[in-house]
């Protein structure tokens, strides 16, 4: 996720990759601890 965004994302940031949407749920200054994954229908 970090490589796709180009920086270390903060909580609340989203990234769409194909049918998937990743939203950062918990992160600190060094790493993403948890994220939510959603799938677009279609």
Would you place residue 40 in the very low, low, confident or very high pLDDT band (cuts 50, 70, 90)?
A: confident
pLDDT of 21: 96
Considering its fold, how many domains does the chain have in total? 1
pTM of model > 0.95 = no
| CA separation for the pair 7, 41 (Å, rounded) | 28
pLDDT on residue 1: 77
Candidates 6, 4, 8, 2; CA nearest to 30 is: 8
Task: Using the predicted structure, report yes or no on whether residue 27 has a pLDDT greater than 90.
Answer: yes
- The boundaries of the domain holding residue 23 are 2-39
């Amino acid at each position: 996720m970090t490589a796709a965004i180009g920086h270390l994302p903060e909580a609340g940031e989203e990234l769409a990759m194909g049918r998937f949407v990743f939203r950062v749920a918990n992160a600190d200054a060094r790493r993403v601890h948890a994220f939510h994954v959603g799938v677009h229908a279609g």
